[in-house]
Amino acid sequence: MAAASQRAAELDGEWSAMMAAAQTGDRIAYERLLRGCTPLIRRVVMRQGVYADRADDVVQEVLLTIHRARQTYDPARSFSAWLCAIAQRRAIDALRRRGRQDRREVFAPLDYENHPDPSDARQHGMTESMQDASMRGAIDELPDGQREAIEMLALQQMSLDDAAIATGKTKGALKVNMHRALKTLRARFGGDLG
């Protein structure tokens, strides 16, 4: 264990010297430093809990931060400690971003697949007004109970309770009429109602 500690101290001294040289404009020392410290940055980022698929992005952010803040490094202090503090902060930033993103996004591939493509109707030569007119005509041809169910529940978006009160029919009868109307309309439009 003492050998590992001694090697870490030596490495820290080398990195500190390279950073001091980089601060004076030594590009080669700076490149060697960045290549040499990248594995440590990756370990720190992963230890903070950043997922492997995002770790490379966070490592790049750390390297950019080092570049922007390189003049703030004090060669009299530990380079590894300075580097680890930056890596930890960037990892925490990434975790916060991920948390905000996860709260906003929902993984629902079926919703995406079932979402209608607005350009599809135009590709088939039908405008929206033609589709609306065709759908309105099909609804008008439905039997009275089915048409009433479609108009109230789908077009006016009434609740089942409100539609039952308005029509004087039971909820069960409205559900049956709605189901039959949708089945008829799907058959007429080849299964595509949206």
pLDDT by residue (tens digit) across 110-161?
665 666 666 655 555 555 666 677 888 888 889 999 999 988 888 888 888 8
- CATH dotted code for 9-104: 1.10.1740.10
What does the pLDDT look like over 57-82, one tens digit per residue?
999 999 999 999 999 999 999 999 99
| Measured distance CA(181)–CA(112) in Å, rounded | 25
Query: Where in the chain are the domains?
Result: 9-104, 126-188
Looking at residue 98, what is its pLDDT? Answer: 85
Angle at 139 between CA 114 and CA 137, to 5 degrees: 105
For domain 126-188, the CATH class is mainly alpha
| Measured distance CA(140)–CA(144) in Å, rounded | 9
**Looking at the whole model, is its pTM more than 0.95?**
no
